[in-house]
Structure 1
Amino acid sequence: MNKIQYKTDDQTRLMFRFVYVSTTLTAILGVFCLYPLKIYGVVPFAFFVYSVLNLFNISWFKKRGNLKATAIRSGVISLLVTIAIILYSGGIASPFIFILGVIVLGGYAGARIFGTIYLNAVILIIVLIYAVGEAQFSFIINDVPTESKPHFSLISLLFAVYLVGGVFGKTLLRAHEALNRSKAEIEIRIMEKELLLREVHHRVKNNLQTVSSLLSLQAKNSANDKIKELIHSSQNRVISMAMIHEMLYIRNNLSKIEFRPYVQELTDYLMNSTDCKNKNIRIKLHIPEVALCIDTAIPLGLVINEAVTNSLKYGFIDNGTGQIDISLKKEDAKNAYVLGIKDDGIGFSEELNFKNTKSLGLKLIHNLARQLRGSVKRNSFAKGTEYQIAFLDVDRHLVHGN
């Protein structure tokens, strides 16, 4: 049963309990007013009218349904009858005026908008009742005899207190306890799913590392340097994905990656694994503290892997120095970013692009940019090359409603 169903059931139970209890008590109060207290006129008549109208209202609900319409009718009946009893039992000094507060509470128990409407209406009504009392209209008579006023005050206060505590208080407490139980169950399920998801990331990371180890063994068993280089490139791509699953496993957030630490770890690995020991090359990161979705981070990691690997292998001459800058900038549009990867190496021809090259790395960069629903731009300079990848960080699970 979902939260909305819980709320609807609680409202229905509260309405039935309020109607049955208030109907029974007002009928008893009507009889009590007539005989022991000798109160005649509008006050006992209003009690009886309220009981009858409430019974008709609840019968209508059982036949037609529509909880909201029934609650509105019940609120209007309660308000009109309460105003009549207040006016004919002392006006602003009537003890029955406290029932107006109960009506406001009932409105808020049904819905916030009803509570707000009843609150404003009751405030206005109290002011009007005070004004009527000050104007001393001759047609409004206090039906409560002087000797019965203390007794009427007692039963009015007991009636108000019982409705607040015995009806609304108990029902709201049960609803609160049920909500807490539901919340505890949901939290347990969330914890179980988080543990399961962590285990999935851990196993994916282990499987990717196994694939990397197999590729490494395959490379060692090959005498062909070209094949070794291709296998090593594939190994780096696998490691770039394994790093993401490892970070998701060890960190609290299971859906987003802290991008700067990830890029730092990835570039450190590439520097250590690529044959650039004789090159004085630095990698500088200009990345703010930002967390990206896993569906965004994995393609970006592969893009960085390809671009940085190409720069380290081909962008700098032997024994030379150089610098690779990786930046990430937030654009004005929602979830829009631009990833920049720039080196000050020897660069390559402007005519060479992903369409006419045999380089898998260049083709991957453009394909991955399309996967990110973005675009890639390559700028060639007199010295160096720069890639700018514009993309949107969108959680595809949310987009597809999974």
Structure 2
Amino acid sequence: MTPPTKRNQYSNKAKLLVLVSQYASIFAVVFGVICYFFLNIKGIIPLSFFTYALLLFINVLALKKHENLLLTYNIASILTTINGIVITLASGGIQSPFIFVLGVVVFAGFVNTKVYGGYYLLINLLLISLIFLHDLSDFRLLANTVPEESGNWFAFLSVLASIYLLGGVFGKNLLEAHHNLYKSQKEIASRIEEKETLLKEVHHRVKNNLQTISSLLNMQSRNIKDEEIKTLFKGSQNRVVSMAIVHEMLYGQDESLSKIAVKPYVQELCDYLFRSLKVHSKNIESEFDIPDISLSIDTVIPLGIIINETVTNALKYAFPENRSGKIKIKIKEGPEGKYTLGIRDNGVGFCDKVVNKKRDSLGLRLINNLTRQLKGNIKRTNKKGTRYKIQFEEIIESIS
């Protein structure tokens, strides 16, 4: 099925082509009658006008049957070019004012497409050059059939017809089409702005809802005495907040509403985790080596949860007994939309006993599952602290 914009373009071009053909047919008939009955111009010139008008009329009627706009346009252009050359040669050659009709053909070509405009420009420049060379030679294809006393009137009518077709028909309709296009563009821009505003409001409400869930989890955890269960609630709360930050940033952006600037997001997430786990007093520093890149929301949310899990583990287990240290997060951009996330700390690392105990924990399962969701792989080492190296791809969900 043809898209609406394509159908509109086809309709506008067809309308303009039919309109120009109708005017050209009328001008040809009127011009032929004036030449024959009033200007005493007999023979090839009035005959060419009448034949051209008839063939142009048939060409327009044929468009309704085959609906091939390009074919109809080319036939009309060829007919106009042939008619223009014949009448030009029969009315004085290079000095004939009717030669300006060839300029109408070139203009019509550029109205259709830039390519066809270029073709007809070269063709008509060549034809005009050949007419000039023809006049320089002693050979004559057609003699001048315009009587001397009718020359000024013929010139006046030729220029009048050419200017009217260019300005009164082509120019007027192109200006109207441009006005309609400008109006449509303004309407589209207004609708896009309205949709962006609504989309921002959606992100704002999602962020508020996620923060409400986080607050509910926090309130519920206060009534729990079991520290292990309380820790589980706190972990869930942090995961919710990691998603809420994404929607908060989308709401505050003025540009793209589908991509997130990664560096400020990671920094804000880590600042929240440091405050949430109250580790500022432990003298633990954070360091970021992240390029100025933006990734899709479908990539940033799982990436944020992975960072949340790894950084939380580091803050809770890597620096016991108020030990100072550093957590470094690095993202490296690779070829073809691939990236490498590195998260490392200089803490005590995981001993094998802790690793085996935590292997089935929700956090580690989340890290592994979300890495697969990002079409990536993960490596973890425990030398001189814990290190994660995660290779992943940007995920862009298509809406069909």
TM range (shorter): over 0.9
8 Å CA contact retained: 2:89, 2:141: no
Shift of 1:12: 1.3
Name the aligned partner's letter for residue 385 of structure 2: G
Q: 1:203 and 2:205 equivalent?
A: yes
Percent identical: 45
The 5-angstrom pairing of residues 190-339 of structure 1 reads 190-252=192-254, 253-333=256-336, 335-339=337-341
- Which among 25, 28, 36 is matched to residue 26 of structure 1? 28
Alpha-carbon separation, structure 2, partners of 1:19 and 1:354: 84
Q: Can you list the C-alpha shifts for 1:165-208, whole angstroms capped at 9, x where unaligned?
A: 11111211221222222222222221221121111111100100
Q: 1:393 and 2:394 equivalent?
A: yes
In terms of mean alpha carbon deviation, does 337-346 or 231-240 score higher?
337-346
Alpha-carbon separation, structure 2, partners of 1:6 and 1:45: 38
Q: State the TM-score, normalizing by the size of structure 2.
A: 0.94
Name the aligned partner's letter for residue 393 of structure 1: E
**Partner SS for 2:190:** helix
The 5-angstrom pairing of residues 49-68 of structure 1 reads 49-68=51-70
8 Å CA contact retained: 1:50, 1:77: yes
Alpha-carbon separation, structure 1, partners of 2:353 and 2:112: 70
Alpha-carbon separation, structure 1, partners of 2:113 and 2:93: 29
Q: 1:94 and 2:93 equivalent?
A: no
Structure 2 spans left out of the alignment, 5+ residues: none
In terms of mean alpha carbon deviation, does 50-59 or 338-347 score higher?
338-347
Name the aligned partner's letter for residue 290 of structure 1: I
Shift of 1:43: 2.1
8 Å CA contact retained: 2:327, 2:345: yes
Shift of 1:355: 11
8 Å CA contact retained: 1:373, 1:392: yes
Shift of 1:356: 7.8
Q: Can you list the C-alpha shifts for 1:262-306, whole angstroms capped at 9, x where unaligned?
A: 111111111111142442211111111111111111111111111
Shift of 1:318: 2.1
Alpha-carbon separation, structure 2, partners of 1:352 and 1:117: 77
Alpha-carbon separation, structure 1, partners of 2:390 and 2:264: 20
Q: Can you list the C-alpha shifts for 1:324-374, whole angstroms capped at 9, x where unaligned?
A: 1111211122x2222221212222257987998122222111111111122
Name the aligned partner's letter for residue 342 of structure 1: R
Q: 1:160: which partner in 2? A: 162
Query: CA separation of 1:109/1:352 partners in 2, compared to 1, >3 Å: closer, same or farther?
Result: farther
Query: CA separation of 1:356/1:346 partners in 2, compared to 1, >3 Å: closer, same or farther?
Result: closer
Q: 1:377: which partner in 2? A: 379
**Partner SS for 2:38:** coil
Q: 2:86: which partner in 1? A: 84
Name the aligned partner's letter for residue 391 of structure 1: F
Shift of 1:40: 2.5
**Partner SS for 1:339:** strand
Query: CA separation of 1:90/1:387 partners in 2, compared to 1, >3 Å: closer, same or farther?
Result: farther
**Partner SS for 1:63:** helix
Alpha-carbon separation, structure 1, partners of 2:122 and 2:41: 31
Alpha-carbon separation, structure 2, partners of 1:60 and 1:355: 82
Alpha-carbon separation, structure 1, partners of 2:315 and 2:173: 70
**Partner SS for 2:91:** coil
Q: Can you list the C-alpha shifts for 1:29-68, whole angstroms capped at 9, x where unaligned?
A: 1111122222223222211111010111112122332222
Alpha-carbon separation, structure 1, partners of 2:358 and 2:267: 32
Q: CA RMSD in A?
A: 2.0
**Partner SS for 2:121:** helix
Alpha-carbon separation, structure 2, partners of 1:111 and 1:355: 70
In terms of mean alpha carbon deviation, does 206-215 or 114-123 score higher?
114-123
Shift of 1:126: 1.9
Structure 1 spans left out of the alignment, 5+ residues: none
Alpha-carbon separation, structure 2, partners of 1:112 and 1:353: 68
Alpha-carbon separation, structure 1, partners of 2:315 and 2:396: 32
Query: CA separation of 1:141/1:312 partners in 2, compared to 1, >3 Å: closer, same or farther?
Result: same
- Which among 363, 366, 369 is matched to residue 367 of structure 1? 369
8 Å CA contact retained: 1:92, 1:130: yes
**Partner SS for 1:12:** helix
Alpha-carbon separation, structure 1, partners of 2:133 and 2:319: 91
Query: CA separation of 1:355/1:137 partners in 2, compared to 1, >3 Å: closer, same or farther?
Result: farther
Name the aligned partner's letter for residue 19 of structure 1: S
Alpha-carbon separation, structure 1, partners of 2:365 and 2:207: 26
**Partner SS for 1:35:** helix
8 Å CA contact retained: 1:286, 1:326: yes
Q: State the TM-score, normalizing by the size of structure 1.
A: 0.93
Shift of 1:106: 1.1
Alpha-carbon separation, structure 2, partners of 1:358 and 1:278: 31
